[in-house]
Amino acid sequence: MEGERVLLVDDEREFAETLAERLKSRGLRVDVAFDGQSALERASHKTYDAVVLDLAMPGLDGLETLRRLRANNDEVQVIVLTGQATVDKALEVIKAGALDLLQKPAPLQELITKIEEASSRRALLVEKHMEEKLKDIMGKKGW
């Protein structure tokens, strides 16, 4: 797939900007947020195929940002990046609704593969929600 819309969230500006450029060079459309609150604001105004989210951020950390993103939109697909991956953290982010947890810095191709997977999963969820909505409309009309 090409042209996926990605929100990259990381408080390490140099890392985020460099990764964003690498993803853009592969044909992805990337927005960057440097903190959890900015990520929530961007995600409330724009739809993303995937959110790539740093776990360790000051203020609103990655786990809380993940929880709020998922609470606002159950279709959002989040890939968490962390420099301090543990089994407990992995379980915690998966339970909170993340698609996956990758060790930072993840190999670029592995990250792109996860973004493509996120995009596909989101598309299936959107389709499912549209089918449910159509069924509901048809049921109300008595068709």
Q: How many domains does the chain have?
A: 1
Question: E strands along 34-122, which residues?
Answer: 50-54, 78-82, 100-103
The per-residue pLDDT for range 3-29, each reduced to its tens digit, is 899 999 999 999 999 999 999 999 999
pLDDT of residue 89: 82
Separation between Cα atoms, residue 91 and residue 7, nearest integer Å: 23
Q: Are 122 and 99 in contact (CB under 8 A)?
A: no
pLDDT of residue 143: 65
Q: At what angle do helices 62-72 and 36-45 cross, to 10 degrees?
A: 20
Separation between Cα atoms, residue 4 and residue 90, nearest integer Å: 25
Which amino acid type is present at position 41? E
pLDDT of residue 128: 83
Helix (H) or strand (E) holding 114: helix 108-141
User: CATH number, domain at 56?
Assistant: 3.40.50.2300
pLDDT of residue 68: 96
pLDDT of residue 110: 95
Q: What residues form DSSP beta bridges with 78?
A: 51
- The list of the chain residues with pLDDT below 50 reads 1
Q: Are 120 and 100 in contact (CB under 8 A)?
A: no
Entry pTM: 0.85
pLDDT of residue 74: 85
Range of the domain at 86: 5-141
